[in-house]
Structure 1
């Protein structure tokens, strides 16, 4: 086997490893997107507008809206993250109750409160 052939094989392996890494990172994009988002502001904007309740907020301010989304208004962008998360999966027969005042939730079995429900959360 020539040195050129060995180099070519190494280059192909490196490309395959890089491609595998890109695929893994792309798989996490939907999860990260559900937790936070950034809205770009128009040039010269003096405030941010909350996309949930349409309230206006001054540059440099941080707030939490009634949907448990915390936002920061900065020149050129508004960055927001869900501070509570949403239950995506749970044990069959269980229910979830969201408390938007405290930004918490409870996963429980309505017929047997002592039953331990397993659940998975996205967006936090």
Structure 2
């Protein structure tokens, strides 16, 4: 089955109502695919917990952690007290944040382990299953 698509010899010079409908349908479909692609990409961008530091100065041998104010040799990597994995080029969050778990559970951040623990609200000794998380 062939539709009278714009540019098709069956559309003619005037385009006709079917050609205009087809064009509108194509534009709507294209916009929906673009919106879907953006929506799929946004969660990773919105929850990307990384930052890049300005370019290093040539000949630089050490850089300073912005949180702990400690100095590190160029090429080294470390985890700071804010649970960020860093190098001289920048830092990224070292943990994932749970976004989906049972309603009778709660997430609590363990700053020593740099991770969220999810457990029953009424019994912290019972861990809960995490369905989804963002980050890292």
- Report the TM-score, using the length of structure 2 for normalisation: 0.58
1:111 equivalent to 2:122? Answer yes
Distance in 2 between the 1:102 and 1:121 partners? 17
Distance in 2 between the 1:116 and 1:25 partners? 27
Consecutive unaligned residues of structure 1, counting only runs of 5 or more, are none
- Size of the aligned set, in residue pairs, is 117
Tell me which residue corresponds to 2:11.
none
- Alignment match of 2:109 (pick from 98, 101, 104): 98
Tell me which residue corresponds to 2:73.
58
1:37 equivalent to 2:41? Answer no
- Larger RCO, structure (CA 8 Å, separation 6 or more): 1
CA RMSD in angstroms, aligned pairs only: 3.5
Q: Which of these two proteins has the greater Rg computed from alpha carbons? A: 2
Distance in 2 between the 1:38 and 1:15 partners? 34
Conserved? CA contact 2:98–2:130, under 8 Å: no
Distance in 2 between the 1:110 and 1:42 partners? 47
- Report the TM-score, using the length of structure 1 for normalisation: 0.62
Distance in 2 between the 1:61 and 1:71 partners? 9
